[in-house]
Structure 1
């Protein structure tokens, strides 16, 4: 899509304003955010408005689509979140964060098979990322694919033997297999 200089300028104006507004509202790297307060919700809604105005100019902006999806995720509107993240994935196929986040949203929607599909896709994009491997192993464990979960977590441990999170995941998988521990549900897995 070819944009004029005016369109590029207008897009950048809306996009940059939205990015400023959403700062501190969406978080991507494993941090469990607190609930949004009144003013944060207002900023988030204004960010969505500006991102949507940017999309009117350039509807294929995967970053814009992804950020809208992340904001809806913070609002716990997981269906809208997934729709936007999946749309962003149509335009950007090499960024492992997109399917990783889609997987998380699918787990919130109890779409376990789809969550596994997306966590596997994120690994296909970035096969040596131990966090992605741990996430996929937990998805598999929740879905009762214990042997596959164990294989994946062992691969992660081989790549980074000192990773405490994946060592804990490995222990949890082994305990579930040996029936020393109950199988986690999704909400248990993200605690």
Structure 2
């Protein structure tokens, strides 16, 4: 008999479950989950191979067990969200990041990822709120200011979006991404581009 019981009826992490929820295995499961997902955390938006998807799904499965054992482990929810990003599953990523953020509101990285998935799903109002909360933690971080500008752009608040992106550029004049965001906002304001409804629209 294996060390722990797995229901292996599907490749989907939502349908494959670890049933051995002994608290003594919390750290073991957490480490295994992190090790499986970590290599793919920077691949958001890129296609991964079926074997890689299996590794990510297995990682999510381990971390599902972790959050059942310890529902206050915000980091496990966050890493699950990164796993779902690697699988290009924005809705599941949003759910995990929202769970993480409900526990940990003092880490801008948690807020940042939740904001991105809000914008991926067209939840612009929530994205703006989360972006403002993240910025309140680090008011001088140009990336967080730019994130707020993006959220405001998708919300349709073009004037404040321009104000915020100009602020981001003043904080870091060398950041080319911020300059590109400013150009995008100007094109929307002038009618050269359709107003984006989601984060994905910005990539078109």
TM-score per shorter chain, which class?
0.7 to 0.9
Q: Secondary structure at the match of 1:142?
A: helix
Instruction: Provide, for residues 91-129 of structure 1, a one-character-per-residue CA deviation record: whole Å limited to 9, x for no partner.
Output: 211111112111111122121211222222221222222
Corresponding pairs, count:
182
Q: TM-score, normalised by structure 2?
A: 0.79
Establish whether residue 38 from structure 1 lines up as the match of residue 50 from structure 2. yes
Q: Check the 8 A contact 2:115/2:126 in 1, yes or no.
A: yes
Q: Distance in 2 between matches of 1:182 and 1:58?
A: 45
Q: Distance in 1 between matches of 2:104 and 2:203?
A: 27
Establish whether residue 25 from structure 1 lines up as the match of residue 40 from structure 2. yes
Q: Distance in 2 between matches of 1:146 and 1:163?
A: 21
Q: Secondary structure at the match of 1:138?
A: helix
Deviation (angstroms), 1:156: 0.8
Q: Distance in 1 between matches of 2:135 and 2:113?
A: 12
Unpaired runs of 5+ residues, structure 2, are 1-21
Partner of 1:147: 159
Partner of 2:122: 110
Deviation (angstroms), 1:37: 1.2
Unpaired runs of 5+ residues, structure 1, are 1-5
Deviation (angstroms), 1:166: 1.0
Which of 22, 37, 59 is equivalent to 2:71? 59
Provide closer, same or farther for how the CA distance between residues 180 and 42 of structure 1 changes in structure 2, counting only shifts above 3 A: closer
Provide closer, same or farther for how the CA distance between residues 173 and 37 of structure 1 changes in structure 2, counting only shifts above 3 A: same
Q: Which moved more, 1:101-110 or 1:145-154?
A: 101-110
Q: Which moved more, 1:123-132 or 1:167-176?
A: 167-176
Deviation (angstroms), 1:55: 2.2
Provide closer, same or farther for how the CA distance between residues 183 and 67 of structure 1 changes in structure 2, counting only shifts above 3 A: same
Deviation (angstroms), 1:32: 4.7
Q: Which moved more, 1:88-97 or 1:169-178?
A: 169-178
Q: Distance in 2 between matches of 1:143 and 1:23?
A: 32
Q: Distance in 1 between matches of 2:26 and 2:44?
A: 31
Deviation (angstroms), 1:135: 2.0
Q: TM-score, normalised by structure 1?
A: 0.84
